[in-house]
Amino acid sequence: MNYKKTKEEILQEFSTNSTGLSSAQREANQLKYGRNVLNEPEQDSLFKRFLLQLKDPLTLILIAAAIISIIVDPHEWTESLIIVGVVMFNAILGVVQENNAEKSLEALKKLSAAKANVLKDGTRISIDTSEVTVGDILVIEAGDQIASDGRIIECWNLQVDESALTGESVPVHKHADVIMQDNVPLGDQKNMVFAGTVCTYGRALVCVCSVGQNNEVGKIADMLMKADNEQTPLQKNIEQISKIIGALCLVICAVVFGLELASGLSILDAFKTAVALAVAAIPEGLATVVTICLALGVSKMAKENAVVRKLPAVETLGCCSVICSDKTGTLTQNRMTVTEVYTPQTQRKTFSTDVPDEIHQLLTYFTLCTDAQLNITEDGMKMLGDPTETALVYASWLLKDKKEDLMKQYPRVDEIAFDSDRKMMSVFVRDGEKILQITKGAPDVILSRCTNQTHEASQINEQMASQALRVLAVAIRHHDTLPESVDISQEMNMEFVGLVGMIDPPRTEVKDAIAKAQKGGIRTIMITGDHLITASAIAKELGILHDNEIAVSGTELTHMSDEELDARLESISVYARVAPEHKVRIVNAWQKKGHVVAMTGDGVNDSPALKTADIGCAMGITGTDVAKQASEMVLMDDNFATIISAVEQGRTIYDNIKKDVQFLLSSNIGEVLTIFCASLLNLIPGVSLGVPLLPIHLLWVNLITDSLPAFALGMEKADTDIMNRQPRSKDEGFFSHHLGWTIAWQGAMIGALTLTAYLIGNTQSHLIGMTMAFMTLSASQLVHAFNVKSEHSILNRSFFSNRILWLALIVGLSLQFAVIYFKPLASLFSLTPLNFTQMLVSLGLAVCTLVISEFVKSHRKH
């Protein structure tokens, strides 16, 4: 707790003095405390990442099947080559996706200034930030980025922008005095400065107390390194599917292998049948289809200003039930704005461009008593200076009073700079032949020095402050000539003019977005480094904080046990004055209750929570590089409403992926049942049906015919009531709501129709039977895609709503005809051309999938 120590104790502890370290001391301290750099995590090599893509059970089964096939029968290498090609394609796709790896720590390193000014034996020198060590005396001036954490030894009107670290929306006034309280939050450690923050005003001498990983930024880096990359719900569900299919595949393959041997086939032929079954059981295109569906969603979201860095995170938004949002720059505009004005003549008013002359005059006085600038260029408006002062200058500009014009009318001749002890600043301007003194500052101080102070003005000040407004007062004093001695003694016997109330206002679109989220069962929680009163006022205005809910401070949260926090969690909607570890704790608390948590933020202080949350959403404009790299999604317009649009898109994507899984697995079950049932029939004495489908047929169906409609299903539009649903549970199984049963009976239907086609064709020849089975299987799956697009009957307008699905049907059938009737392809696939009757039977059986599904939907409805 360096803030509790005196300047003398700090200098003694770190073996330094006000003139800085000597060369020998600097070398000794660098050896003792290390360099001022952040640790870096080890990165997996590209080859290791590629190998990790091959650990999926289904992938391992396919590789094993391909290797064993080529060993058993080297002449039959086509299927093995295709299988290996599919596996390699999926692995490369995964590596490309992962190459957008986390760069959080690299961004944190960029927060350190390239150079730092320090005292060495009393002489000011410039050194690399990495060379700064404990005991160094930093020389800090306006505009400097602070190189390391330290205790202020001396300062002159020092103000530091700590918003990226603490969430504080305005620069903090610093001092060099001892702070005696315990457990003081970062934002209230007024005699300390921290690495990565920026000096906006004044200057100071600072004794460095820690470097590198021991800085506050370094502690955040540690949290980022320790934060686990949790699997998204979609990844968990796909993994669950893979394990189930993998286990069933091995069991069924072993059974079929035994059945084929029992029927009198050779070991080689029995093994070929088992390989065909393995290929049939494994949906090779599933990973690719899911990835492409997610990519399509990502592309659509990018057009709506939500840039997704990790594909599976798109779907995670769909089951989001809690959004933990930073206030400054996320829910608010991150720009102080004048909202209330008061003069004794006009009383309290909401600020607007239509105000009486007294308000014009009030804002003129405030503007003249600032050091802020408002520059308007072709690129837009740029505000320079303290946010509270820029708010005053901007308010005058809205009244068509430009500061440069006012300065010409009232040229400044002298000033008394702001002092945090006095809580005032004064300027002396020429007003005709006389001198006008303008003093602005804290209302209680200004009023105490005015001859015309009123009880009403004090009441108005208290009312504004209770509404979380930052209140400033202005007073004037007339002089015939400029006083010989311009000092603080002039700041007496003044005439009170009025008050202004300012606040960092909410974004206009956020209130509606929060209401929409609540309707969709999503709870919004505000987590901010700002003061409790300010945070509560904003939260009430936005509809985050309701009558039966409470706001707590970081200090209160620190004293809560995990059990107490768990018990009170549902009632807390606002957390104020929090530290980075508090944010992580809050996110974890909601996750332990089974919620899928999204975290929004823009500062360094948000990054551990962004990484810990199920999905982190960083701001693209005001967000730091650290926040962006720690997140899964970046909102390029810094618009909270964009998150809700992304949630809607996430829900749609999940619905479409479920449709894809239903379609692909029911199709694959149909393939497995076709081969399995044929093997059973071969056990009947005198029956020798052979294998109805070869591995190459199944690969073609799984990779081409299945994939086209699956891609189309991934582009289905959102249901109109999608944001009226409650979020699905984090632990909800992928096959819940009877999806598993639906997949089973639909697979049985496809298998029965395919086997029927095979049996009909096999009465003429095995080749014709195999070709009819191949055609029926492909066509029935193309038609089946229309059944999957809706749980309700599709024999209405929705039947034609997806043009891409119709295109997939036409292209899929065209490819099937090409494989059957183009001789080189027919020869490669071991097929024979079908006559008109045989093709009609195959297509007729395929259309039966539509008839049967409509009958089941109709029966379920009634």
Q: Could you list the active site residues? A: 326
3-class DSSP state of 520: coil
Please work out, in degrees rounded to the nearest 5, the angle formed at the alpha carbon of residue 476 by the alpha carbons of 471 and 481: 150
The neighbouring-strand residues paired with 129 are: none
Q: Contacts by 832-836 with C-beta closer than 8 Å and gap 24+?
A: 832/765, 832/767, 832/768, 832/771, 833/771, 834/768, 834/771, 834/772, 834/775
**DSSP codes joined into one string, 752-821:** HHHHHHHHHHHTT-HHHHHHHHHHHHHHHHHHHHHHHT-SS--SSGGGGS-HHHHHHHHHHHHHHHHHHH
* Secondary structure string (H, E, C) spanning 638-649: CCHHHHHHHHHH
Q: What is the residue whose two structure tokens read 């004005």? A: 341
DSSP, residue by residue, 207-254: EE---GGGSHHHHHHHHHHHS--PPPHHHHHHHHHHHHHHHHHHHHHH
Q: Which token pair is 608? A: 């551990």
Please provide the size of the chain in residues.
862
State how far Cα 388 lies from the chain centre: 30
Q: Put residue 577 in one of left, alpha, beta given phi > 0 → left and psi -120 to 50 → alpha.
A: left
Do the Cβ atoms of 770 and 830 come closer than 8 Å? yes
Distance in angstroms (rounded) separating the CA atoms of residues 96 and 295? 13
- As given in the structure block, the two tokens for residue 313 are 């995170």
Are the beta carbons of 208 and 138 closer than 8 angstroms?
Answer: yes
Q: Estimate to the nearest angstrom the gap between the alpha carbon of 615 and the chain centroid.
A: 5
Pairing status of strand 192-193 against strand 150-161: antiparallel
Question: Strand 550-553 relative to strand 572-576: parallel, antiparallel, unpaired?
Answer: parallel
What is d(CA 689, CA 686) in angstroms, rounded to the nearest whole number?
10
Helices (H), 126-189: 163-166
> Packing angle between helix 640-681 and helix 739-762, nearest 10 degrees?
40
Q: Which two tokens stand for residue 711?
A: 């891609």
- Asked whether the beta carbons of 575 and 582 are under 8 A apart, the reply is yes
Buried b vs exposed e over 522-538: b needs ≥16 C-beta within 10 Å? bbbbbbbbbbbebbbbb
Half-sphere exposure of 497 (CA within 13 A, CB side): 23
Alpha-helix residue ranges (DSSP H) falling in 369-482: 387-398, 403-409, 443-448, 455-466
Scored b (16 or more CB within 10 A) or e, 285-321 reads bbbbbbbbbbbbbbebbeebbbbbbbbbbbbbbbbbb
